[in-house]
Amino acid sequence: MRLSSRLSDAGPREARVRELLQAGLSAAKAAEQLRTEGYKTARGIPFSESCVRATMRRLGILSTRSLVRQEPDLCGPHECFISELTRELQIGPAKVYGRIMAGTIPARRAKDGRWVVTVDEEMRKALQSQRKYAPTNTHRKPPDAPP
pLDDT digits (tens, 9 = 90+) for 90-137: 888 888 999 999 999 999 987 767 789 999 998 888 888 855 555 565
Say how many domains are in the chain: 2
pLDDT digits (tens, 9 = 90+) for 25-62: 888 899 999 999 998 888 889 999 999 988 888 888 77
Indicate if 13 and 58 belong to the same structural domain.
yes
Which domain range does residue 91 map to?
79-128
20: in domain: yes
Helix segments in 2-130, DSSP class H: 10-22, 27-36, 49-59, 64-69, 82-89, 93-102, 121-128
Indicate if 62 and 20 belong to the same structural domain.
yes
pLDDT digits (tens, 9 = 90+) for 72-101: 556 778 898 888 888 888 888 888 999 999
Q: Region 1-7: what's the mean pLDDT?
A: 45
Indicate if 9 and 60 belong to the same structural domain.
yes
Cα 1 to Cα 105: distance, rounded to the nearest angstrom: 51
Whole-model pTM: value is 0.45
Indicate if 55 and 99 belong to the same structural domain.
no
The torsion defined by the Cα of 65, 70, 73 and 76, in degrees rounded to 10, comes to 70
